[in-house]
Structure 1
C-alpha cells in the first residue's frame, strides 16, 4: 500500500508544543512566529521531515499557516480545509479566521502592537510573501525578522524525521519526449533574450522536468529535492545529495550537467553576486533566503520551466491518453466491485474502498505510486473537501448516502486524478438535484469553446452558473494543472477565480466543480481535460480552442435528474458514456464488463 491510515498522533501534544514555542520566542526576543506548511522549495506536498505545521498544530492539510503570538495563535487555511481545521484544531487553542493571504495581516494587526517583531524561517516563505507582509504591516510598526534555526526543529529534536534520500532515476525519452539538452537550450535562449546571466531553479518539478530525472523524496510525487543554477552559457549545475545519484542517473547527467552537494549552493550564489551577474529568481516561488544570498544580483523573473513543462509535447500527450485508458479500466473494475459488494449486503468502509481501488491500479503492473492520498468520504466525510481517512475517522458506506472518492495514480507515461460521487442505496431528491447542477457545470467546462488569450478566471463561472442560480457554490477552484509523471497539481494554469494564466494548447487541466453540505454529504465530478489546438468553427471568424476529455469512467446515472439537463447536455453525457464503453470495454471482462455496459447506457 502507498497510503497508510494511522491517525495523526500530534493532537494531544499540541498545547505543550505551543507553550514550548512561546518560551523560545521570549528567549529570541520575538513577539510572534509564523509557520507555513512547506519546505525550502515551497512545495505543496512535503516530506515527513518538513511536516512542521502538522507537528505543531495537529492540522494535516496540504496548505495552511499558523501565527503564534505570546498569548494568541491563529490557524489560517483556504476554503478546502475550513471544516477539517475545525475538526483537527478545535478546542479554543487557535483562532480560525480564514484564508491566510487575506486574514493574516488583520489578525497580526489586532494581536500585536507597534514595535513588535514577527519571526519567520527564511527558507519557508517566498520573496513576494515577505515583501507583501512587510509592506502591509510597516504602517502599524510591526517588523519581520528571519531566524537562523527554525524553533520548531529545536522543539522537535531527535524525533524529527531525517531529510529524504530517495534515489535519482532517469526519465526515459519515450515518455519525456524531449532531451534534457533541448530543454536546457530553450531555457538559455530565454535568459539571453532577457539579458540575464543565469537562473536559479528552486522547484523540484522544474529541476526534474529540465534534466529528465525523477525521484522518490516526497510521498506520491516522483520528484527529487534539489536546486539548480542554469547559466545563459555553459553547463547547468545541479545541487543534490550525491548519495541520491544512481549509476543510471550519473550516466544520463554526465556531460550535460555538473552535480554538486546542496551545501555548495550558497557559495555559488555568493560567487554570482560578487561577479555582479544578473541572476533570475522567481520571487513568487523562491525562498526569501535565496534572494538574501544573491542580494542586488537577484532579478525578478518567472521560472522559465513552469510555462514550458505545462504545455505537453506529443510524447507526453500520447502517454497521458494511454495512462487514462489504463487507469479508467482500473477505476471501472473498482466501481463494479463496489456496486456488487453493496448489492450483496457487504458493509464496505472507507479504508476498504481505498485499498480495493489501489489494488486495481496495482494489478495493471504499471503503477509507480498513487498521485495523492485517496479522498474516500462517506456521507458527512464527503463534505470535507480534502478529507483523508484514518483508522480513527473510518466510516462505513451507509444506505441512502453519497460516497465521494477522489484518487489518482502515477504511471511513467502520465499522472491521473479523478473524482466520482456514487449513490449508495437510494439518493434523496436534494442529492440528485444538486448532483445534476454540478454535472451541468462540469459539462459547461467540457464543452467550452474559447479564443486565444482566455484565462482560467474567464472560464471558472461556466462551472458555477447552474449552482449560482440556485444560491449554491463551492469554495475551491474548478481546475488545476497536471504534470506528466510529476506533481498532480501543476501551474501556471488553473480554472479558478485566481486563474490569471492564459490557457494554452497542450495543457492538461482538471474539470472538477462540486457542492458540499457540511455534516451531510459532498459531491464532486472530476475529469482531466487536454486543451486542443485552435481551429475556426464552420461559419466562424476566429480560431477557438476546446477541451478533449482524457478521463474515461462512467458518471453515476442514478444521480442524474434528466429533466434538469438541456438536450445538448443529455447529448454530451450519452456521447461521453458511449466513448467510455468503446475505449474501456475491450480491457474488461466478466462482471466488470457487464457493469460497464449498464453504467454507460443512454439516460
Structure 2
C-alpha cells in the first residue's frame, strides 16, 4: 500500500465500548487499554489521542519515545495530520472500523491540505499482528419476553411500521445491543456486555436477516427467534448489502463507513437516520424497570456486605486486589452472570485515574487516611448495575472534604431535579458541577451515561453531558456520577443510577424527574456538614432511610448493625 500514514481506532466494526481480543488493535500496537481513543502513525511520527478520562492512564501505559500523548478533542486528528504531513499525503483507514460521520468530519478538517483519506481493503495492523486471536463465537441465549415486557415480534412490527411510514424499505443495524434488544436475545461474545455480535437488516415487513456466526444459535434459540428471522453467515453481509432495494435507513453516527460504500456502489437510495432501535431501547418498559429495581436490590446487598466487611478490617493490611476479589465474590453470591465492567478500585492517588484498572504491578496497599474510590457493577438476568462509592478510610484531608462535599451536593442536585418535558442532558449537566465550579474545580467526563436493561452498562444515545442534545423521556435510565480528581493525591466520585419518571406539574404542563434505583449508603465521614443545606441533608437522610428499610430484612445481624450506623440521619447547616 502506498500510504503516508494509517489511523488505528479503539473501535471494532460495531463501534462498541468493549472489543473482542481479536479487535484490540490499539492495545496491541500502543499498550493503551482505555475504552476510547485512537492512534495515528506516519513514517516519522506517531500519537495516541485520548480524552480527559485517560490523560493519566495513557502516560502510564504508552511509551512516550514511540507515541506522543495528544489531548483529544482539544486537538483534532485533522489538525495533527496537517502538522505531521505539511506537504499532503495519503492516510489509510479501515472502513469497517470508522463511522460515516467520523470520516466526513475528518475530511472536512483536511479540506485544502492535499491530504487524502484512503479506505483500505486489508488492515495493515492485522498483517503484522503475528498471534492475533480468533473472533469470538460465544453461545447466544433467549432473553425472557417477560423480562423484556414485549416480544421480539411486537418490537419488529413496531419498528417496521416506522420504516413504512417513512417510506423506507429496510434498516441496517450494526449495534449489537440494538440487535440483541430487538430480537430478545443475549450473548457471550464479549466479556461484561451480554450482547450477540452481529449485523442485521430489518425489512419493512418485520423480517430480519441476522448476520452472525450460525454456531452461536442452538435449536432452542432458533425456535425462539422464529421463521421471520434468518440466521446468515457474516461473510454474506457485503453481498446482501449490494442486493438491497432502497431506500435503506442507515445511521451515520454508528454504522461503519464500509456499509455506506457498499450501498452507494450498488446505487441504492440511502436514508440517513438514527438506528431505529436506539431510542425505543432507551425507553425502558415497565417490566424492564421492575427488573432493574430487583437487580439493584440484590446488588445493594452485595455492596453493603462489602462495606461492612471493609470497616471491620485493618484496612492497611489490604490491597486493592483484595477488595476487588471480595466484592466480586459477593456479587457472585448475589446472582450475577458477569460483572458489568472492569471493577475500578482506586486507593489514594490511583483514585485520580478515572478509569483505573488495578493490575499486579499497580496494586496498592491501602493507606491509613486514603480515599478509596470503588466503581463497579453487575450483570444480572433482569438488570444491569453501576455504582460508585468513595470511602474515607481514615482522616480525610481538608481538600478531600471540600471536594467530596461539592461532588455529593452535585449528585443530590441531579437526584432532586425536576424539569419540563423536552429538556436534554446538556441542560441539566451544570446542576452537578455548580458546587465544584464555585471552588474552581471541575471534572473531564460527562455527568451521566445511559444504561441498558440486562444489556450494555454504557448505552446510547441519552447522556447527562454538555454534548448531549437527546431529550430525556420517561423510562430512560442514566448514571448520576459527578467527580473530582487530584492527580497524585485522590479521586472522588459518587454514582447512583436514576430512571426518568413523570413528575407533578401544573395543569397543561408536563414535567419529569428522577427515581433513584441504586440502593447503598453514601459515606458521610468526609462531608462538611456546615456546607450541606438542610434540604440536601433531608434528601440524603430520606435516601438512607429507604436503603435501610429495603435492605435490612435481607442482611445478617452484623451487616444490619453496620447499615444502621451508616444511615444515621445527619444535619445540614445552610438554609439554601
Same fold (TM over 0.5): yes
Alignment partner of 1:145 is 2:115: no
* Residues 346/438 of structure 1: CA separation in 2 closer, same or farther (3 Å cut): closer
Structure 1 counterpart of 2:528, from 549, 554, 561: 561
Query: Which residue does the alignment assign to 2:393?
Result: 424
Alpha-carbon distance, 1:100 to partner: 4.5
1:189 to 135, 155, 161: 161
* 5+ residue gaps, structure 1: 1-27
**Residue 600, structure 1, aligned to residue 567, structure 2:** yes
Decide whether the 8 Å contact of 2:429 with 2:447 is kept in 1. Answer: yes
Q: Scaled by the length of structure 2, what TM-score is found?
A: 0.97
Q: 1:541 to 1:279 in 2, by over 3 A?
A: closer
- 1:246 matched to 2:218? The reply is yes
Q: Distance in 2 between matches of 1:346 and 1:134?
A: 54
Given that 1:64 and 1:100 are in contact with CA atoms closer than 8 Å, whether structure 2 keeps it comes out as no
Following the alignment from structure 1 to structure 2, what is the Cα–Cα distance between the partners of residues 561 and 115?
57
Residue aligning to 1:359:
329
- Aligned residue pairs total 567
Which of 24, 40, 43 is equivalent to 1:51?
24
1:72 maps to which of 36, 45, 52: 45
Q: How does 1:78-117 map to 2 (within 5 A)?
A: 78-100=51-73, 102-117=75-90
Are residues 1:507 and 2:479 paired?
A: no
Aligned positions of 1:336-347 closer than 5 A:
336-342=308-314, 347=317
- Distance (Å, rounded) in 2 between the aligned partners of 1:592 and 1:533: 35
Matched with 2:497 is: 528
Q: Deviations over 1:191-242 (max 9, x none)?
A: 1111111000000001000000000001100011101101112521111111
> 1:387 maps to what in 2?
356
Q: How far apart in 2 are the matches of 1:241 and 1:513?
A: 40
SS of match in other structure, 1:505: coil
Q: 2:454 aligns with which of 478, 485, 488?
A: 485
Instruction: Tell me what 2:463 maps to.
Output: 494
Question: Deviation at 1:70?
Answer: 0.8
Q: Are the aligned partners of 2:247 and 2:271 in contact in 1 as well (CA < 8 Å)?
A: yes
Matches within 5 A, 1:58-457: 58-100=31-73, 102-157=75-130, 159-233=131-205, 235-272=207-244, 275=245, 277-295=246-264, 296-297=267-268, 298-342=270-314, 347-364=317-334, 366-457=335-426
What secondary structure does 1:530 align onto? Answer: strand
Secondary structure of 1:185's aligned partner: helix
List per-residue Cα deviations over 1:372-429 (Å, max 9, x = no partner): 0000101000000000000110001111110001000000110000000001111112
Gaps spanning 5+ residues in structure 2: where? 571-576
Contact 1:65–1:100 under 8 Å retained in 2: no
CA distance in structure 2 between the aligned counterparts of 1:121 and 1:46, rounded to whole angstroms: 16
Question: How much has 1:590 moved relative to structure 2?
Answer: 2.1
- 2:549 match: 582
Greater mean alpha carbon deviation, residues 189-198 or residues 234-243: 234-243
Question: 1 CA distance for matches of 2:504 and 2:208?
Answer: 39
SS of equivalent to 1:564: coil
Q: Please give the alpha-carbon distance, in whole angstroms, between the structure 1 residues aligned to 2:492 and 2:88.
A: 48
Post-superposition offset of 1:101: 7.5
- 1:512 is displaced (CA, Å) by 0.1
Change (3 A) 1:385 1:407: same
Rounded Cα–Cα distance in structure 2 between residues aligned with 1:282 and 1:484 = 22
Say which SS state the counterpart of residue 308 (structure 1) adopts.
helix
Q: Deviations over 1:64-98 (max 9, x none)?
A: 00000110111101111011011111433222221
* Contact 2:377–2:385 (Cα < 8 Å) also in 1: yes
Distance 2:485 2:249 in 1: 42
Matches of 2:236 and 2:408, distance apart in 1? 52
**Per-residue Cα deviation, 1:159-192 (whole angstroms, up to 9, x for no partner):** 1111000001000112111000010011111111
Inter-CA distance 149–101: structure 2 relative to 1 (3 Å threshold): farther
Instruction: Give the SS at the match of 1:498.
Output: coil
Q: Counterpart in 2 of 1:8? A: none
CA contact 1:380–1:521 (8 Å) conserved in 2? yes
CA distance in 1, matches of 2:6, 2:276: 33
Report deviation, 1:535: 3.2
Asked if structure 1 preserves the Cα contact closer than 8 Å seen for 2:448 and 2:481, the reply is yes
Match of 2:519 in 1: 552
Query: In terms of mean alpha carbon deviation, does 239-248 or 117-126 score higher?
Result: 239-248
Residue 346 of structure 1, CA deviation? 5.7
Per-residue CA deviations over 1:314-352 (Å, capped at 9, x if unaligned) read 10000011111110011000010111113xx66111111
Asked whether the 8 Å contact 2:14–2:175 carries over to 1, the reply is yes
- Contact kept in structure 2, 1:506 and 1:533, CA below 8 Å: no
- Larger CA deviation: 519-528 vs 333-342: 333-342
